Amino acid sequence: MTDSPGRPVGALPLVPAAAFVLVWSSGYISGPYGVQHVAPFTLLALRFGVAAVLALLPARILRGPLRIDRGTAGRIALTGIVMNAVQFGAMYLAFDAGLGATPASLLHALTPVLTAVLAALFLRESLSRRQVVGLVIGVTGVLIVLGPDVRAAGGPVAIGLAVFSAITLSLGTLGQRWIGHAPDPIWSAAIQFSVSAPPLAVLALVLEGTHAVTDPLRGGIAVAFPAIINSIVGLLLLGALVRRGEPAQGRACSSSRRR
């Protein structure tokens, strides 16, 4: 497929990029809101369980039977676990520890350049001096903002979890490219949600028990919104953008921000 006239090679289409920023940003509100009413692992297990059902139905109806070989399915599943279960698990634990939407978005704002650095390390892609300088400036800026008030931002534990979340988010973004261009995006999302829910459910039962919901009504909202908007819409938009350009470009549109 050729690029449309007037669009630079690797440029992101405006409408899906803008939609992705909006969807991505809303997650920094839904996450902290959700953990006030549902324990983190329980919330995520329900979120991805609902998202899996919502993705499997249209995948089967609109795309027909699954036509993905085992190797590709394995790459899709592994990427999904990293990008969903691990990344969101760490960030929701950070939210539960007191991390707010603003510091969370600041820390995740480092992921576009961090993705480029990881791509250089693992995929041997070129890394410009500008990207290295950008990472240094970004880290310095976050430290300046958070440094005087680390405890108010949730403390070192919450910030450490958020940093780990940012790293796994970048790894997951690279994983989207590792999957390749062939797999159907709806089936890919369905697989990723399906494999993410069970380990989170086990952690929820072991660590949070059966009384993890403090407010059923608000808890239902906290599950439904991220399942539909942040998971289904967000991941499909991200996958489309990453496949249209470099991983750092796909992440660059999220520097405004997510979830």
Q: Where are the domains of the chain?
A: 14-255
pTM: 0.80
Determine the Cα–Cα distance for residues 253 and 250; give it in Å rounded to an integer: 6
Q: How many C-beta atoms surround the C-beta of residue 151 within 10 A?
A: 10
Return phi, psi of residue 213, to 5°: -105, 120
Quick one: DSSP state of residue 38?
B
For the cut 60, the answer to whether the pLDDT of residue 110 exceeds it is yes
Write the pLDDT tens digit of every residue in 1-40.
Answer: 444 455 554 555 677 788 888 888 898 999 999 999 999 9
Burial class of residue 14 in the structure, from the number of CB atoms within 10 Å of its CB (0-12 exposed, 13-18 middle, 19+ buried): exposed
Determine the Cα–Cα distance for residues 243 and 250; give it in Å rounded to an integer: 8
The share of the chain scoring above pLDDT 90, in percent, equals: 33
Confidence of residue 187 (pLDDT cuts 50, 70, 90): confident
Determine the Cα–Cα distance for residues 14 and 20; give it in Å rounded to an integer: 10
Task: Read off the tokens for 255.
Answer: 């520097």
